[in-house]
């Protein structure tokens, strides 16, 4: 198949292109080469065309004959304040609407969308007394006192995290999350209006070789790596007990290839995760142990709006797409401790 990949020069997009090419697909690779993602690398890599998805004429010239679009391009990061909203809205949401419109005009009816776990907001929780509940946001008073776990809104009991399935409500809590939720909503409406198909891949914490270093696109694993390389201990926020799912970029590339080749209709969303939850403290510790660096330091600090726990249920991706992560975080993080990063 002929597959157009946006964000093709990025950390994830470049590996998606490699996976698709290895499976015999004809890849058309485009990237806007934003400095926030690529730093001083203003020239696209060989084989990548410098095209912004917001450029309708540029996209229109490339889409004829394309069977599937694999849309990886996005501005990421939670955002600092409300002034960042237009940037997210322009690149992530307006860009996606332009892409969808030009796909329709070109007769392309299949989209694989890079979404994110952030659409779920706070994640899923169970009360030992009252069962599944939606917790209230954590208060500054509790956080300042070192009380980091959510409490039951009914009786005040400490809550336990649970796996989040794709049928969970979408409750974005950051500008980035709002933009990813909007992308999904536009794609869903487009699929229903055109009879097209959309596979939305909700990435959890992606890590691996060539991850960006010290940029808004850096994940926490890369931030820990950078601290160790400076001779400093990684600084872990809260108490380090925050639970996440870390999924290797090779697995993310594999699930994109599976989604491109899947025979799905309408709109379908899937968690992309390892299925092996791990705490933030465990992530820092594994990287430190692999490199022989100083042990992580628990700071007790917190960031307003941070999610305490969010861990995904991998069952739907396994059942429908045949995707099961191949890389265990225990092995992947050990490898990542020495993997090359982007400057």
Lowest mean pLDDT, pick from 81-90, 242-251, 279-288 = 81-90
Q: Is the pLDDT of residue 267 over 90?
A: yes
pLDDT category, 212, cuts 50, 70, 90?
confident
On the question of pLDDT at 78 being above 80, the answer is: no
Output the pLDDT for position 79. 59
pLDDT at 304 over 70: yes
Q: For residue 5, which of 259, 176, 194, 208 has the smallest C-alpha distance? A: 259
Q: What is the mean pLDDT of residues 233-259?
A: 97
- C-alpha 213 chain-centroid distance: 16
Q: How many CB atoms lie within 10 A of CB 153?
A: 14
Cβ–Cβ < 8 Å for 16, 5? yes
Q: Which residue has the tokens 């379908």?
A: 268
pLDDT band, residue 215 (cuts 50/70/90): low
Residue 35 pLDDT class (50, 70, 90 cuts): confident
> Which of the residue ranges 40-49, 105-114, 291-300 would you say has the lowest mean pLDDT?
40-49
Question: Is 180's pLDDT higher than 70?
Answer: yes
In the predicted model, is pLDDT for residue 173 greater than 90?
Answer: no
Q: What pLDDT does residue 306 have? A: 86
CB burial class (10 A; 0-12, 13-18, 19+) of residue 128? exposed
SS3 of residue 263 by DSSP: coil
In this prediction, residues 113-135 reach a mean pLDDT of 95
Q: Strands of the chain (E only): list them.
A: 2-6, 26-31, 48-50, 68-71, 110-116, 124-127, 131-133, 160-164, 197-203, 205-207, 235-236, 243-244, 246-248, 266-272, 278-279, 297-298, 311-312
pLDDT at 312: 92
**What average pLDDT does range 257-273 have in this prediction?**
96
- Give dist(CA 315, CA 296) in Å, integer: 33
pLDDT tops 90 at residue 197: yes
Q: What is the pLDDT of residue 38?
A: 73
Top pLDDT among 341 and 148 is at 148
pLDDT tier at 80, thresholds 50, 70, 90: low
Instruction: Give tens-digit pLDDT for 128-172.
Output: 999 999 988 899 999 999 999 999 999 999 999 999 999 999 999
In angstroms, rounded to a whole number, what is the distance separating the alpha carbons of residues 72 and 125?
30
- Written as one string, the DSSP assignment of 154-204 is TT-PBPEEEEEPTTSPP---SHHHHHHHHHHHHHHHHHHHHT-EEEEEEE-
pLDDT exceeds cutoff 90 at 34: no
Q: Is the pLDDT of residue 36 over 80?
A: no
Name the E strands within 51-134. 68-71, 110-116, 124-127, 131-133
User: Where exactly are the structural domains of the chain?
Assistant: 2-122+164-211+246-274+312-328
Interhelix angle 329-336/220-229, nearest 10 degrees: 40
Is 131 within 8 Å of 154 (Cβ atoms)?
no
Predicted TM-score (pTM) above 0.85: yes
Distance CA 29, CA 2 (A): 11
pLDDT on residue 217 = 57
How much is the average pLDDT of 66-83? 86
Q: What is the pLDDT of residue 342?
A: 82
Task: Extract the tokens encoding 79.
Answer: 């955002």
Res. 47: pLDDT tops 80 = yes
Give the integer Cα–Cα distance in Å for 217 and 77. Answer: 6
SS3 call for 236: strand
> Quick one: which of 203, 221, 204, 201 has its CA closest to 212?
221
Q: What top-level class would CATH report for the domain 2-122+164-211+246-274+312-328?
A: alpha beta
pLDDT > 80? residue 37: no
Whole-angstrom distance between the N-terminal and C-terminal Cα of the chain? 33
The per-residue pLDDT for 60 is 98
């Amino acid at each position: 198949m002929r597959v157009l990949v946006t964000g093709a020069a990025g950390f994830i997009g470049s590996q998606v292109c490699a996976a698709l090419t290895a499976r015999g697909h004809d890849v058309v690779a485009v990237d806007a080469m934003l400095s926030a993602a690529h730093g001083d690398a203003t020239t696209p890599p060989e084989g990548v065309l410098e095209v912004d998805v917001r450029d309708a004429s540029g996209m229109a010239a490339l889409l004829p004959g394309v069977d599937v679009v694999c849309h990886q391009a996005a501005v990421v990061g939670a955002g600092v304040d409300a002034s960042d909203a237009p940037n997210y809205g322009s690149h992530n949401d307006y860009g996606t609407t332009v892409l969808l419109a030009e796909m329709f005009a070109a007769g392309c009816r299949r989209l694989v969308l890079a979404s994110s776990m952030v659409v779920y907001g706070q994640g899923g929780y169970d009360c030992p007394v009252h069962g599944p509940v939606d917790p209230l946001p954590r208060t500054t008073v509790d956080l300042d006192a070192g009380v980091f776990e959510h409490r039951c809104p009914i009786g005040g009991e400490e809550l336990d995290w649970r796996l989040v399935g794709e049928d969970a409500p979408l409750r974005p809590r950051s500008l980035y999350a709002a933009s990813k939720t909007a992308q999904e909503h536009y794609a869903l409406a487009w699929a229903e209006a055109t009879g097209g198909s959309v596979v939305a891949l909700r990435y959890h914490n992606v890590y691996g070789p060539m991850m960006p270093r010290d940029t808004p696109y850096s994940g926490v694993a890369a931030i820990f790596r950078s601290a160790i390389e400076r001779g400093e201990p990684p600084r872990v926020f809260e108490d380090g007990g925050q639970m996440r799912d870390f999924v290797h970029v090779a697995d993310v590339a594999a699930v994109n290839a599976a989604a491109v080749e899947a025979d799905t209709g309408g709109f379908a969303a899937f968690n992309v995760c390892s299925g092996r939850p791990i705490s933030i403290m465990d992530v820092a510790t594994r990287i430190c142990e692999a490199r022989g660096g100083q042990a992580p330091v628990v700071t007790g600090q917190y960031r307003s709006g941070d999610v305490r726990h969010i861990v995904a249920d991998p069952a739907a991706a396994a059942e429908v797409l045949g995707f099961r992560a191949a890389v265990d975080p225990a092995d992947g993080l050990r490898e990542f401790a020495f993997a090359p990063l982007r400057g």
